[in-house]
Amino acid sequence: MSIIPNMPKPWRKETKPHKFCPGCGHGLVLKALGEAIDELNIQDKIVFGCDIGCSLLSWDFFNVDTVQTHHGRTTPVMTGVKRARPDRICIAYMGDGGGYAIGSQHLVNAATRNEKITVILANNCNYGMTGGQMAPTTLPGMKTETSPYGRDIEETGYPTQGPEMVAAITQERAYVARGTVANVRQLKNYIKRALQTQMDNSGFSFVEALSGCPTNWSTNAKDTWAFIEETMPQYFKVGELKTPVPKEGISK
């Protein structure tokens, strides 16, 4: 038997290698998503919406129905699809720019209305596609193209903590978690529970994934892992913030 690449089943093989940069965290987030879809066996029910920014490069990533929307408007488009076809499983995939900057109003309002969709957000602390400008999630003191002396919290405030915000405004039985690409298996379980929340018609589900951007951070592999594993979790705490069932009932 010939050896084939160990890709999740929903991945579209003919578009690989994918278009993300070497070492990009999107590949790992989408790998976790692919494995979660695979394990729940829901590939034929998925509607996948991707945002503008680096995340739009996932438009031909999966063998599922995909729509690429206006910047920041992935959440409302997926809300519309879900309301028109409640039997579909809608996934909005975006970066931190699409979720916390231009699209924060939509994320907040969809969470308040408790829409039955799943939002997956890759947080890499900058705007990757446009060249690494400062984003709402840039860490204090972190150097980017538009904050060459480091982010000044006096001028620009503290980074957005999305899952904490969403967990505060969603209703009971919603699912909110923050995973990291340094632990793909845990991230897969979070995404799986988020999709399960939607399939149970339980409520809004939101997963943020701490992701890496070696191109714009200008880091080698070692520093990339150090930043994802040590620096980012100091501010962005990894874990489940809200679960539809009491935490004791969930197997880790």
Partner 1 sequence: MPTKIAYRMNKIDTKRALFTIFTGLCKGCGLCIQKCPANTLIWSDELGVYGTPAVQPKDAEGCTGCGMCSIVCPDCAITIERKKM
Per-residue burial over 45-78, b if 16 or more Cβ lie within 10 Å, else e, is bbbbbbbbbbbbbbbebbbbebebbeebbbbbbb
Binding residue for partner 1, selected from 129, 225, 233, 244, defined by CB under 8 A: 225
Select the span of 14-22, 37-45, 82-90, 118-126 touching partner 1 (CB under 8 A): 14-22
To the nearest whole angstrom, how small is the minimum distance from the Cβ of residue 26 to partner 1?
Answer: 7
φ, ψ of residue 3 in degrees (nearest 5)? -90, 130
Which span (15-23, 68-76, 82-90, 111-119) binds partner 1, by CB under 8 A?
15-23
CA–CA gap between residue 178 and residue 204 (Å, rounded): 15
Closest to partner 1 by CB, 101 or 184: 184
Spatial contact of 46 and 62, defined as CB atoms under 8 Å apart = yes
SS3 call for 75? helix
33: nearest Cα among 43, 19, 18: 43
Q: Token pair of 9, please?
A: 């089943």
3 lines the binding site for partner 1 (CB under 8 A):
yes
Is 14 or 154 the residue whose CB approaches partner 1 more closely?
A: 14
Minimum CB distance to partner 1, residue 180 (Å): 12
Binding mask 29-58 for partner 1 (x = CB under 8 A): --x---------------------------
Interacting residues with partner 1 (CB under 8 A): 3-8, 11, 13-14, 16-18, 20-28, 31, 184-185, 214, 220-222, 224-225
